[in-house]
């Protein structure tokens, strides 16, 4: 069997152009990384969600750069093909200089291939500086968990016309600043569709409808093992599957076939 070429930013752009959906899942260790790659996942997101599902915190805020480096290293040791994207945790990119220093650590020590940062206009200068120094960036708009206290909880974003216009403008601004990819979390599906159509870079949705260029889920949500209430936008793919590899394959197949997210997972 021919060895598949590594996934790059150009691979993802080509998939967007060709209309092929991109499957993204969070990963925090070597064992699950192997299973996710075998299932055909194109992007592994080492998310600061590990603060909640692995470390047991109530939010992502306590996660440190050192935490992200540790888990990124674990994933990198096992990854062979998928693109590795690593979250920049809370207050690790509060200034351009800080963004450069911490992103460099994530690439140098954590072997990340792209960093993800939350926020819109405030992040333009950091995105531009990072990309100018050869560090690929994924933006994140909509529900940004690191701003949960400012947002007043885990709520859908962009429902009002003014908020929707601002989100679209910020998405365009992040692309113009140099972002190679964008995550949209918990925004109305019609708005997510508009953003995906306007941008030349891939737009990955989570709770943002089926019209994004790809989908991402937290691994523990996908397997139905996250403690507490499951988010509306997630699905337990382990339910009815013979084992974990089969559940992961079912997720990838559902994303590719545009069967996930379905109407019940979509936020109006």
Annotation: CATH topology of 21-265: TIM Barrel (3.20.20)
pTM assigned to the model: 0.93
Q: Mean pLDDT across the chain, nearest whole number?
A: 93
Q: Which two tokens stand for residue 80?
A: 């062979």
185 is catalytic: yes
Residues contacting 72, CB < 8 A, separation 6+ = 46, 84, 86, 106, 110, 111, 112
- CB of 144 within 8 A of CB of 171? no
Query: In this predicted structure, what is the pLDDT of residue 2?
Result: 57
Of 45, 117, 115, 116, the C-alpha closest to 79 is 45
Cα separation of 154 and 186, whole Å? 9
Domain locations in the chain as residue ranges = 21-265
Cα separation of 56 and 227, whole Å? 9
Q: Which two tokens stand for residue 219?
A: 């691994």
- CB of 145 within 8 A of CB of 135? no
How would you label 13-50 residue by residue, b for 16+ Cβ within 10 Å and e otherwise? bebbeeeebbbbbbbbbeebbebbbebbbbbbbbbbbb
Cα separation of 103 and 85, whole Å? 11
Lowest mean pLDDT among 17-21, 89-93, 142-146, 237-241: 142-146
CB-hemisphere CA count at 13 Å for 53?
21
Query: In this predicted structure, what is the pLDDT of residue 116?
Result: 98
Of 166, 177, 158, 172, the C-alpha closest to 267 is 158
Cα separation of 241 and 220, whole Å? 15
* 152 pLDDT more than 50: no
Query: In this predicted structure, what is the pLDDT of residue 1?
Result: 45
Lowest mean pLDDT among 82-86, 145-149, 176-180, 238-242: 145-149
Using the Cα atoms of residue 22, residue 24, residue 29 and residue 31 in order, give the sign of their dihedral.
Answer: negative
Dmax over Cα atoms in the chain, in whole Å? 52
Lowest mean pLDDT among 32-41, 210-219, 224-233, 242-251: 224-233
Q: Which of 185, 197, 249, 264 is catalytic?
A: 185
* 144 pLDDT more than 90: no
Cα separation of 223 and 214, whole Å? 19
pLDDT digit string, tens, across residues 156-174: 556 678 989 999 999 999 9
Lowest mean pLDDT among 2-6, 47-51, 124-128, 200-204: 2-6
pLDDT-derived band at 200 (thresholds 50, 70, 90) equals very high
pLDDT digit string, tens, across residues 84-126: 999 999 999 999 999 999 999 999 999 999 999 999 999 999 9
pLDDT digit string, tens, across residues 41-83: 999 999 999 999 999 999 999 999 999 999 999 999 999 999 9
Cα separation of 194 and 197, whole Å? 5
């Amino acid at each position: 069997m021919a060895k598949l070429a590594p996934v790059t930013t150009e691979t993802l752009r080509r998939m967007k152009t060709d209309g092929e959906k991109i499957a993204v899942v969070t990963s925090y260790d070597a064992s699950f990384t192997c299973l996710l790659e075998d299932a055909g996942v194109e992007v592994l997101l080492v998310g600061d969600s590990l603060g909640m599902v692995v470390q047991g915190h109530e939010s992502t805020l306590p996660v440190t750069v050192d935490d992200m480096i540790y888990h990124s290293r674990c994933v990198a040791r096992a990854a062979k093909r998928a693109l590795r994207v690593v979250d920049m945790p809370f207050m690790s990119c509060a200034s351009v200089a800080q963004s450069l220093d911490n992103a460099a650590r994530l690439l140098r020590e954590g072997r990340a291939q792209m960093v993800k940062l939350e926020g819109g206009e405030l992040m333009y200068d950091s995105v531009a500086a990072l990309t100018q120094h050869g560090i690929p960036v994924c933006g994140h708009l909509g529900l940004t968990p690191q701003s949960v206290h400012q947002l007043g909880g885990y709520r859908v974003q962009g429902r009002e016309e003014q908020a929707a216009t601002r989100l679209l403008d910020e998405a365009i601004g992040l692309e113009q600043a140099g972002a190679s990819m964008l995550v949209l979390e918990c925004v109305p599906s019609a708005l997510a569709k508009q953003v995906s159509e306007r941008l030349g870079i891939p737009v990955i949705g989570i709770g943002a409808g089926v019209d994004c260029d790809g989908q991402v889920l937290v691994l523990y949500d996908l397997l139905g093992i996250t403690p507490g209430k499951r988010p509306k936008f997630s699905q337990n793919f382990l339910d009815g599957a013979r084992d974990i590899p089969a559940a992961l394959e079912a997720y990838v197949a559902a994303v590719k076939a545009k069967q996930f997210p379905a109407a019940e997972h979509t936020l109006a």
